[in-house]
Amino acid sequence: MSVSIKQTGLIFSKGISESLLNPLDPNFYYEPDNTAWIKVSHHNNPSVNLFDSTDTFTSSVYKSIHLWFNVALCNFANTWELMIIQTPTAGSTVEKYRWIQTKNPMTAAYANVAAASITKITTSGYVTPGTNFGGLYKASSKSYILCSDGTASDYWCDIGGWTAYQGGIPGYNQKVITTGYIDLYLRIDNLPVLSKASIYNNGLTSTSVIEI
């Protein structure tokens, strides 16, 4: 166990965060500009791994180390800077897409996240997507979350996808993910602190951490 509480009241932990911590993946990820992120969804090798439409997406879903979803952590945010990291096939070039949207992907409608309404980060290291590609919204079929691409009937960027497509699932920017993976990240260093403290196996979250 990575968190230990001593008789003296001291707590030893791998990670301490005054923001969000994902118990399904308690790691913190850092981009070259020193921004901090947590991974909130992981879908590896969708050629053989898919979610189910009946999964508990409103809370969290854990199928295996290859397939889990905890995008509900976005409900604790008040600003949503998101990043997709994907590779269509195992070993192929990794692509990173990053943007800011003004609506929670767990509740946003298609019209809320059109390309014109998001801020795309296109500095070095991030792929510039097609002009029509926007942010993420809560879908009604095929996948729990999809991205806007200018055509409401399309379904790209399956986050929580349960519908097979061309031997895999639709990824971001009109890429099909088969033996590769698609991961969603939420930026956390720009978020307010939580209103409660929580202790997990690999870390803890708190509104106030006192260092002595």
Residue 75 per-residue DSSP state: G
DSSP per-residue codes, 50-69: ---TTS-TTT-EEEETTEEE
What's the burial of 203, exposed, middle or buried (CB within 10 Å: 0-12/13-18/19+)?
buried
Q: Are 47 and 169 in contact (CB under 8 A)?
A: no
Q: Are 207 and 193 in contact (CB under 8 A)?
A: yes
The whole-number pLDDT of residue 115 equals: 97
What's the half-sphere exposure (Cβ side, CA atoms, 13 Å) at 205?
18
3 state SS of 174: helix
Q: Which residue numbers in the chain have pLDDT < 50?
A: 1, 17, 195-197, 200, 207, 212
The whole-number pLDDT of residue 212 equals: 47
Name the pairing type of β-strands 16-17 and 203-205. parallel
Place of tokens 């308690």: 26
**Residue 129: what residue type?**
P
What's the predicted TM-score (pTM) here?
A: 0.84
What CA–CA distance (Å, rounded) separates 77 from 86? 23
